[in-house]
Amino acid sequence: MSSVVTGKYYSPQEKEEDMYLTRLKSFAKSKTFTLLLLNVFVIIVFTIFTGGRFLRPLNIRNILNAMVIVSFLVIGEGLLIIYGNIDLSCGNVGTMCAIVMALVLLNGSIPWFAALLISFIVGIIAGLLNATLIVKLNFQPFIATLAMASVAEGLSYVFGNASSIAVENSIITFLGTYRFFNDLIPFSVIISLAFMLIYGIILSRTKFGRMIYLCGGNREAARLTGINPKKICYILFANMGFLSALSGSLLAARMKSATVNGITSNQFSGITAAILGGISFGGGAGGMLGAFFGLLLLNCFNNGMTIMGIDPFWQTVASGILLLVALIFDYISVSRAAKRLA
């Protein structure tokens, strides 16, 4: 049996092959494919310039380890940026939550899962407070979250007494330190990849994901279709708080101590990776696969410069330049889209 497509007859098999070819062409024109090629290029360049050290198994493990902590921030920031908001407090909140977890664990009568749960609850509350400032008091997201960052940083110093707190629970440290396959694949990498996959499915395959895109594309139009953007805002900021707490707690588990610095230096890495991954600051565009490639690119870049012996301060400069380049391309892309609509 055949069907008619554009005046020509196609068998079901030919129609299916044509559909796959169309998808392949679409992927080849996407930002995700460009990022994939860019990652391959960066890997080849650093492999050549480091004499093959870049692709050694132990170095690959280092890259994966570095990706884990930032990956949860990339997920949370990615969803918020697609919605049209941003969180500048996630690093400080995650650090505070890790200190809370460590303090709870000092009381030997409280089980490890309760300590983790309390850490997550603290993060979620911080996220809900951010959303309340934005939704109820009409604060700009960067102002509200900067204020929360200051509060969380101060509380980290108060709770942690400006020092590190040991994390000695064997199950917690297992989550941060255990490795598979002859010590090559950290267990925390499996956790982070699972989260990327789950959130990717939620964003691309569910009604809730479509609502996030609609709110990011046009908040008023989304409201007129029956969506409650304020409710979505609360959910996304609470989710950001939870992921920040998870990120901070995993770092504390890996280091076997919670410090007042924690993941504070990673929050802009999360934003940079999300933007590099094609998530637009204009809102309503991007996805988790692109965010993953953006995260991989950022970490390969930083790791390669470290192996080459480049000063860490210059690495920070290079990361900032990467963010600026990503923002410029994002601006050009948004401007072109606006012109096409006009």
Q: What is the pLDDT of residues 83-104, one digit of tens each?
A: 999 999 999 999 999 999 999 9
Q: Each residue of 270-307: pLDDT tens digit?
A: 888 888 888 888 788 889 999 999 999 889 988 998 89
pLDDT tens, residue by residue, 124-146:
999 999 999 999 999 999 999 99
- Asked if the structure places residue 245 within a domain, the reply is yes
Classify residue 1: in a domain, yes or no: no
User: What's the one-letter identity of residue 12?
Assistant: P
| Domain membership flag for residue 87 | yes
3-state secondary structure of 228: coil
Q: What's the whole-model pTM score?
A: 0.88
- CA distances, 201 to each of 192, 197, 286 (Å): 14, 6, 13
CB burial string 279-290: b at 16+ within 10 A, e below: bbbbbbbbbbbb
Neighbours of 331 (CB within 10 A): 13
* Containing structural domain, residue 160: 67-294
**Position 135 in a domain:** yes
Buried b (16+ CB within 10 A) or exposed e, 175-210: bbeeeeeeeebbebbebbeebbeebbebbeeeeebe
Number of folded domains that form the chain: 1
Find the helix packing angle between 229-255 and 187-205, rounded to 10°.
Answer: 170
Residue 280 forms part of a structural domain: yes
Using alpha carbons, select from 193, 231, 229 the residue that is nearest to residue 74. 193
52 domain residue, yes or no: no
